[in-house]
Amino acid sequence: MSTPLEVLQRVFGYESFRGEQQAIIDTLVAGRDALVLMPTGGGKSLCYQIPSLLRPGTGVVVSPLIALMQDQVDALRELGVRAAYLNSSQDWQTAREVERQLLDGELDLLYVAPERLLTERCMELLGRTRIALFAIDEAHCVSQWGHDFRPEYLGLSRLHERWPDVPRIALTATATQVTREEIARRLSLEDAAQFVSSFDRPNILYRIVEKKEVKRQLLEFIREEHPGDSGIVYCLSRSRVEDMAAFLKQNGVPALPYHAGMDAALRAQHQACFLREEGLVMTATIAFGMGVNKPDVRFVAHVDLPKSVEGYYQETGRAGRDGEPATAWMAYGLQDVVQQRRMIDESNGDEQFKRRSGRQLDAMLGLCETVDCRRERLLAYFGQQIEPCGNCDTCLAPPESWDGTVAAQKLLSAIFRLWRERGQRYGAGHIIDILRGKHTPRVREHGHDTLSVFGVGADLSDQAWRGVLRQLLAKGLVTVDFEGHGTLMLTDDSRSVLKGEVTLMLRRESAAAGRPTRTRRQAAADAALAPKEQQRFETLRAWRAAVAREHGVPAYVIFHDSTLREVARRNPRSLQELAHVQGVGVRKLEAYGEALLECVA
- pLDDT above 70 for 521: no
pLDDT (mean) for 109-125: 93
Q: What is the pLDDT of residue 498?
A: 92
pLDDT at res. 10: 92
Q: Where are the beta strands (DSSP E) in 211-332?
A: 230-234, 255-258, 281-284, 297-302, 326-332
Q: 571 near 536, Cβ under 8 Å?
A: yes
Report residue 341's pLDDT band, with 50, 70 and 90 as the boundaries. confident
Long-range contact pairs involving 574-577 (C-beta distance under 8 Å, separation at least 24): none
pLDDT of residue 520: 40
Let me know: does 213 contact 181? Beta carbons within 8 Å: no
For the cut 60, the answer to whether the pLDDT of residue 514 exceeds it is no
What integer is the mean pLDDT of 25-29?
97
Asked if pLDDT for residue 519 goes beyond 80, the answer is no
DSSP class of residue 132 equals E
Q: How far is 572 from 588, CA to CA, in rounded Å? A: 15
Q: Are strands 505-508 and 400-403 parallel, antiparallel or unpaired?
A: antiparallel
Residue 218, pLDDT > 90, answer yes
The distance between the two most distant Cα atoms of the chain, rounded to a whole number of Å, is 88
pLDDT at residue 278, as a whole number: 85
**Domains of the chain as residue ranges with CATH:** 4-196 (3.40.50.300), 204-398 (3.40.50.300), 402-508 (1.10.10.10), 524-600 (1.10.150.80)
Q: What is the pLDDT of residues 36-58, one digit of tens each?
A: 999 887 889 999 999 999 999 99
pLDDT score for 518: 47
What pLDDT is attached to residue 146?
A: 60
Top-confidence residue, 163 or 323: 163
CB atoms within 10 A of CB 250: 10
pTM for the whole structure: 0.84
Give mean pLDDT, residues 278-303: 86
Task: Tell me the average pLDDT across 232-255.
Answer: 96
What local confidence, expressed as pLDDT, does residue 523 receive? 46
Chain mean position to CA 333: 21
Q: What Rg, from alpha-carbon coordinates, does the chain have?
A: 27
Q: Phi then psi for 562, rounded to 5 degrees? A: -60, -35
pLDDT of residue 513: 54
| Average pLDDT value for the chain | 89
d(CA 349, CA 299): 34
Nearest by Cα to 207 from 396, 336, 474, 467 = 396
